[in-house]
Structure formats: structure tokens, C-alpha cells
Amino acid sequence: MNSTPIRQNGEASDGVNDSSINTKKRPLRAGSKLRIEWSKQSSRMTRLGGLAYFTEFLELTGLFDDLVFECPLTYTSNNAPNKRDVLGVMLLSVLSGQTRYAHMSSLSGGRVDADLLGMKKIPCEDSIRGAMWKLVTQAQAAQDKSAALLWLKQSFDRLCSGALKMPWVLDVDVTVKPLYGKQEGAVLGYNPQHPGRPSHAYHSFWVGHLRLCLEVQVRPGNETAGSHGLGSLLDWFERHPSREWPDFVRGDIGYGTQKWMLELELLGIAYLFKLKQTRGVKDLVRLSELQSDWESSLGTWECCEATLQLSGWTCSRRVVIYRRIHHKKGSKAKVAKALNGPVEANELLQLELIEEDAFTYEYAIYVTSLCEPATEIRALYNPRGDNENCYDELKNQWGWGGFTLKDLPRSELMARFIALIYNWWSIYVKLVDEKIAREAITSRPLFLFHNAKVSTHQSICTLVVFCAHVEAERIQRKLEQAARRLKEWATLTAEQLELKSVWARIITHILTHHKTVGSGNSRDPPMITNL
């Protein structure tokens, strides 16, 4: 990428609250007092003024260049777009928050954005659909249906390599994407938000506390059970050395099954799952109420542990039971008052076992191979709930809710591509702002959506950024500070080859210094030491 000097205008006169504006002046309105002109000429302007900093981030880390170089897409026609142009349009579309292929047509005049990514031209939406179809059919012709997906798998593996050299937790989960057409795999299945609506099931794996997606697999809507994602996870373990494996695997009741636990036990990987409400689990809870000594745990919670071998299990396994008092017939307000805190009824197994002055107990049961004390198990499990925030962001802010085509392979290809760009941007934002975990709905207006134009003087191109945000000066300072840090790391890496790559330095810096994931975060679970 040809780097250009970047200047950001953060003066108050660009803001809407500038007191110097003559309030007596007639406001701009369509009519005789306002002239409107349209132009078909391409302008050297962009609404993605912050893209220059992000593309520099991509250039210094080599993320986009490697993605383009390894892409198996090939053309024989001289009039066809090249790989960089196709992937560049997809990147710009996803990054700017678009959710449909038809939206890509709005990028045709973004010459500044294309230049920043090193693109020669901007392909239309039909070219993008065709390119994705070509990726799939080329792989099928070569009798390797996984070739296109393997390309993105390698990008995910390279992306996550720096984060996997430190102690980490692997979260497994699945979400449902409702569909409104006759797409391949659009069948009825578990769909709590839109019952009776056909859907796809998105199985994904995450680096806990970092919101870094390791893998995503798209299955038909009736394959939401955790067992349908196990094969993809085993493939991930096969591709990575044991030194990069997680400290333990964490999941909800869909993963606390014999199949999952046995496979992880054979690999020597610890696990922590929530147990499903079954007759055998209820019997264990009843027995524990009569025989066990309960220990005080987190706030109003008490816990005990036991061993359990359900029907179909090959061996007995450690089970940790949590309980707290729950008002039997009272309102939520009464329950909260009695417990001195909010009620998490959606998370809990409710069993009306013992009545004590109109109170009953509600339970949460976990199966685990960890050696940590029973009092710490729930604290180790609770951060798994952050996955729901990740899914919400990806579906509503990044395009997992759209970009659907008729065939399943292209839908899965796009889902992986979106997750990859989501990872890039999330890590970049954490590098820019080390205090707050920002989702795209807030990070884009801060660090991406700024009007900018290119001016040329004496053969020197300058990108002039107009920031009308009330925190313009702080935004400029953070972006420039992150850019300087990246350049320093790139220089050190070039001079001393034995040092880690720029990307590894970025991950290490975030894990160490970011307030929501670093060493100073009080929400982090206790460190796993007895594995």
C-alpha cells in the first residue's frame, strides 16, 4: 500500500454545536434558496476516513495480503477482475456494515477506499456472487470440496496463533439464523426467536475473554445439537500442536454429552459443561440434599460435588451442584429482594424439592474434569455467557443475518469471511482503545465513519479527514498513537528476526494491557493451575 500523509481535522467548527455559526442565517432547505447539483464524475472523497489507519494495520500485519495470495480463485479471461479486487469489495462491504450483496453497488464510486486497499477496479455485485461460485465449483472440479473453506481456515489459524501461546479457554456454542427463502439447508429446527421458521445453524468456537472466533461451520437448521459441531472441533485440534490447545473447553447443556466428553478425555483436554435436566440429574440433586454438606460460594450460592454415571456414560464423572434460595410464588421483585440481587431464572434448573416458608431452591449443575475447588467452578463457567453478545453483534452489526445465497457452500464461505473481518476489526479496535470493549455499533462511528477527501499539492497526496464527533481530538490521538506503536513493532521485527511477528506483538499487548481482557481485569476467572 502506498502510504499517504494523513491529517485529521478535529476543530470545533466542524461540529454541529459550533457557537460561531450565525443562528440568524436562513437554514438550508430545498427550494428557491438552495441549488442542488448531481455529478456522475468519480470524486476523490470517502465516508470511511478512518480506513487509512485500518489499512495500514492490515499492511503491517500482512493479514489482507496473505488472504489474497492464498485465495484459490483463478480466472482465464483478461476482462475478469483479479482476486484483490474481489476480496477488497467484500472487505469494504462487510467492514462498513452492509448485509446484502445488492448493497455492494454503492461502493462503485469509492475510488479512495479502493486505492487504500491496492485495488485496480471495483467489481459489481454480480461479479462477487460469480467469484464465490467459482471458488466452490473449482474446488468441486478438483474433487476437493473443502479447498475454499480450507483457505479461510488457514487465515483463521494464522490470526489466532498469537493468542494460543498463553493460557486460554475454548468456548463452543451454536446460534440460529432464520431464513426467508428456499436456500439449501433451510429446514425446520430449534428456533427460539422465530418458531416454525426455516434456518441455518452456525456452530462456532471462540477464544474466551478475547472475543476471537476460531472457526464457524454452517449446518442445516435441524442440526443445532452440539454433536454436529464436534467433527469440526476435532479437525481443529488435528491442525494444531498440543502446545496451542486450550486449558479447557467450555459449553452449555448441548455439549454435556457422552460423545463430547469422551472425545476430549481421549485427547487429554479438560472440559466444563452444564448438565441437561434429566431424571438421573434430578435424582442426584435429591440425594445431595439429603447427604451433602453445602459450602458457601458466590454471594447467595451454595455448592457441593459428587460423582455421577448416567445411562450411556462409559464412566463416572465429577459433578458440581450449585443452589440458591428461590421464592416459590412471589414476583421477580420479591425474589430479587429476598436474594439481594437479580434472578437468573433463564440459566437455572428449577426443582421444587424443599419448602421452607414458601421458598424453594433453584439449581445449576456442571460436569467437569477440572481439579479446581467446587466453589470456583461457577466463576470459571460464567464468562461463557459473553458468547451471546458476540452472536448478537455478528448477526445484527456484521452481516451474519444477511449475505445468504441459494447453496450452502457459498453461505458458509461468506459466514467464515465475515467472522474473519470481524476478528480483524475487533483486535484493531482493542489496540486503538485499551479501556473499553466496543462493538461495531460504537467503534465504527469513532474510528471509521469520517468524511475525507484527497488533496494533491506538488505531487504529494494528503488525505484530509473531517471529524465532526464531539471527541474528535481524542479520536485523532488514539488513532495516531496506535499507528505509531504498529510502526515501532514493525521496525523491531524487521531488525531482529528472532522477535515475534507484529501480529503476535499485537495479541500479547492486548492480553496484557487491555482493561477488559488483560491482567488487570477483575472479571477474569481464577487461573487454571491443576491440569
pLDDT per residue over 456-502, tens digit each? Answer: 877 788 899 999 889 999 999 999 999 999 999 888 766 554 445 78
What is the mean pLDDT of the segment spanning 75-88? 89
pLDDT above 90 coverage of the chain, percent:
50
Residues contacting residue 287 through CB under 8 Å, at least 6 positions apart: 306
Q: What is the pLDDT of residue 160?
A: 78
- List, as one string, the DSSP characters of 348-412: SEEE----SSSEEEEEEEEEE---S-HHHHHHHHGGGGGHHHHHHHHHHHSSTTS---SSHHHHH
Confidence check: pLDDT of 33 > 70? no
CB 84 within 8 A of CB 91: no
Residue 127 has pLDDT above 80, yes or no: yes
Amino acid type, 234: L
Alpha-carbon dihedral of residues 342, 345, 347, 348, nearest 10 degrees? 110
The closest of 499, 485, 501, 500 to 53, measured between CA atoms, is 485
90-106, pLDDT tens digit by residue? 999 999 999 999 999 88
pLDDT of residue 189: 87
Residue among 384, 139, 142 at smallest CA distance from 249: 384
Where are the domains positioned within the chain? 6-17+40-140+417-513, 167-268+386-402, 274-379
- The reported pLDDT for the residue numbered 283 is 92
Better pLDDT: 492 or 353: 492
Name which of 400, 398, 485, 407 is nearest 444 in CA terms: 398
Average pLDDT over residues 188-195: 84
Please write the tens of the pLDDT for every residue from 358-404: 568 889 999 999 999 999 999 999 999 888 899 999 999 999 999 98
Which candidate, 418, 479, 399, 405, places its Cα nearest to that of 91?
Answer: 418
Backbone dihedral region of 272: left (phi > 0), alpha (psi from -120 to 50 degrees) or beta? beta
pTM of this prediction? 0.84
pLDDT at 149: 75
The residue with greater pLDDT, 55 or 296, is: 55
Q: Which residue did the predictor score with more confidence, 40 or 240?
A: 240
pLDDT score, position 237: 94
Q: How far is CA 14 from CA 166, 442, 463, 465, 475, in A?
A: 45, 20, 16, 11, 14
Decide if pLDDT at 135 tops 70: yes
pLDDT of 425 over the 90 cut: yes
Among 208, 278, 204, 256, which residue's Cα sits nearest to residue 366?
256
Tell me the mean pLDDT in the region 34-61.
85
b/e code 164-190 from CB counts within 10 Å (16+ = b): beeebbbbbbbbbbebeeebebbeebe
177 backbone φψ class: left, alpha, beta (φ>0; ψ -120 to 50): beta
Highest mean pLDDT among 42-46, 320-324, 508-512: 320-324
The pLDDT assigned to 169 comes to 93
Confidence at 38, pLDDT banded by 50, 70, 90: confident
pLDDT band at 2 (very low <50, low <70, confident <90, very high): very low
What integer best gives the mean pLDDT of the chain?
Answer: 82
Q: What order do you get walking across the sheet with 460-466 strand by strand?
A: 6-9, 460-466, 451-457, 45-46
Quick one: pLDDT band at residue 251, thresholds 50, 70, 90?
very high
pLDDT value of position 361: 84
Confidence band, pLDDT 50/70/90 cuts, at residue 5: very low
Q: Look at residue 202 in the predicted model and tell me its pLDDT.
A: 95
Confidence of residue 15 (pLDDT cuts 50, 70, 90): very low
Mean pLDDT of 187-209: 89
Please work out, in degrees rounded to the nearest 5, the angle formed at the alpha carbon of residue 5 by the alpha carbons of 4 and 7.
135
Rg (CA), the chain: 26
The pLDDT score that the predictor gives to residue 145 is 60
Q: Please give the pLDDT value at position 498.
A: 45
* Number of neighbours of residue 191 by Cβ within 10 angstroms: 19
343 band by pLDDT with thresholds 50, 70 and 90: very low
Q: What share of the chain is helix, strand, coil (3-state, %, to 5)?
A: 45, 20, 40
- Of 77-86, 221-230, 434-443, 511-520, least confident by mean pLDDT is 511-520
Residue-wise pLDDT tens digits, 145-187 = 667 778 888 888 888 776 787 888 999 999 999 998 889 999 9
Q: DSSP letter string over 39-75?
A: --S--SEESBTTHHHHHHHHHHHTHHHHHHHH-----
Q: What is the pLDDT confidence band of residue 299, given thresholds at 50, 70 and 90?
A: confident
Contacts of 58 (CB under 8 A, 6+ apart): 64, 65, 424
Higher pLDDT, 352 or 121: 121
